[in-house]
Structure 1
């Protein structure tokens, strides 16, 4: 049920990693037919779990997938997993697949969904990048437009992000920025993007193809207290290259300063806006983790 590496809950019970398996006929494996959430927990308290679970439910509704647990039951399963995990801070992956079915994309034969939760440690980039800054390239791939796949759906098909990250690896970079078909910068492979110009914090809108990230929303929430105005608007690579500062945000990534894009140095990294946002974000996480208010999931 618990190892030094990870704790896993599957279909109602805690299981050893060797028993945490899915069928080769599971449509989540065969076709990426499922949804997921990533959640950070601190002092055994999942950060903004209600928002994550409601987004999971919206993603599932978006692909016509029934989650076989209501949200309070799923929250209880998350807490059971976190309580069994070691250490008390870590990362959760909550996954719901269509379940086992026949070969072929028709989901009609998938009668029982697969649900599992993994508690483990996760570092998107090496820890020294938080201080030194992240090096990124622009990926040759384009993000699918919202009229092809709504970016609000966190599906199991992350092939674009995987291939973009592989491209970054080949270039010796830490991350890759993705453009949409209009040439606007959307996000990184697994993180949202912000740029700072003067006292304005800018981020691409969801309508450009960006994920409606919960860490993104939290940064936008604390920005005014940091003396920053928030603007959601389309960005080009020139906006990134010429930014005073730039940063990436995500549940896995946290807040990461962006040092370089396509070999061009960002003006300041890490800059005063990043440090202020990082401090405000950490203070909010600490306050909410200490309060551990009950969830309103009825």
Structure 2
């Protein structure tokens, strides 16, 4: 496996950064994960926009363009012999002294990882359970896709290593927030519901795609503060992320759900398939 490190392609065993990188010392770093479908980086423009907005918040003086990212991806994918891939695009602050820095970071480290994925196939169902651990609040005004991942890691330990279960966070106030690695949606009547960003969740790229798709389908979309009872009364539940796509929930806290036989997830899955090899932005 080869990794992209600051413009060079190196074997994974040879990829290194300094221990003085503030991404390591203080968690000052961001990442984006997305899929490449037959050479096309799905919704890349939205991922770049979110990354650039986060870099501004972290005071890292680097902004990326579509051409720059695509050039790096092409070289990395070619080196690994991949056309379908899981991509992690990582930017850490770069070198600094030991101590909290207020000056801008001007030389960040850029690492890109690519892992092979099979051709996109049928939807895979999951069960959803409520986590005992509560969702932490964002470090700043909004949640970034940052190196601060302890809340997620502890939640994953709570549910174990099973790949067919997703843990769902509640906020400290008891509102439904998001999954460990996903955003959550549910349908009741002609309305699709999803938690508001006011709960402190990540504004996922697939979340944004799904919200637009729901409206395109002629359904109502409602963001808000919802309880576990609101979700338990749903007709369909599903979660989303950029690697697993649209994931239907077959069981929620002991309540059997339609899973992949649900009408809404089938329509969304079809729209996703029609878009994933060509769409650059939502």
TM-score (ref. length: structure 1): 0.83
Aligned to 2:110: 115
1:242 paired to 2:233: yes
Q: Pick the aligned partner of 1:269 from 253, 259, 262.
A: 259
What whole-Å deviation, never above 9, does each CA across 1:96-124 have from its counterpart, x for those lacking one?
1011333334365966311111111369x
1:139 paired to 2:111: no
What is the Cα deviation at residue 67 of structure 1? 2.0
What is the Cα deviation at residue 47 of structure 1? 0.7
Give the secondary structure class of the aligned counterpart of 1:94: strand
Give the secondary structure class of the aligned counterpart of 1:155: coil
C-alpha RMSD over aligned residues: 2.6
Aligned to 1:50: 45
Alignment of 1:101-250 (within 5 A): 101-106=96-101, 112-121=107-116, 130-131=123-124, 133-146=125-138, 148-169=139-160, 174-250=165-241
Give the secondary structure class of the aligned counterpart of 2:259: coil
Q: Pick the aligned partner of 2:54 from 55, 59, 83.
A: 59
Q: Which runs of 5+ in 1 are unaligned?
A: none
Residues 284/74 of structure 1: CA separation in 2 closer, same or farther (3 Å cut): closer
Residues 51/42 of structure 1: CA separation in 2 closer, same or farther (3 Å cut): same
Give the secondary structure class of the aligned counterpart of 2:151: helix
Residues 215/178 of structure 1: CA separation in 2 closer, same or farther (3 Å cut): same
What is the Cα deviation at residue 70 of structure 1? 5.5
Tell whether the 8 Å contact from 1:24 to 1:30 is kept in structure 2 after alignment: yes
Q: Which runs of 5+ in 2 are unaligned?
A: none
Tell whether the 8 Å contact from 1:102 to 1:110 is kept in structure 2 after alignment: no
The number of residues matched between the two structures is 278
Tell whether the 8 Å contact from 1:243 to 1:266 is kept in structure 2 after alignment: no
Tell whether the 8 Å contact from 2:35 to 2:41 is kept in structure 1 after alignment: yes
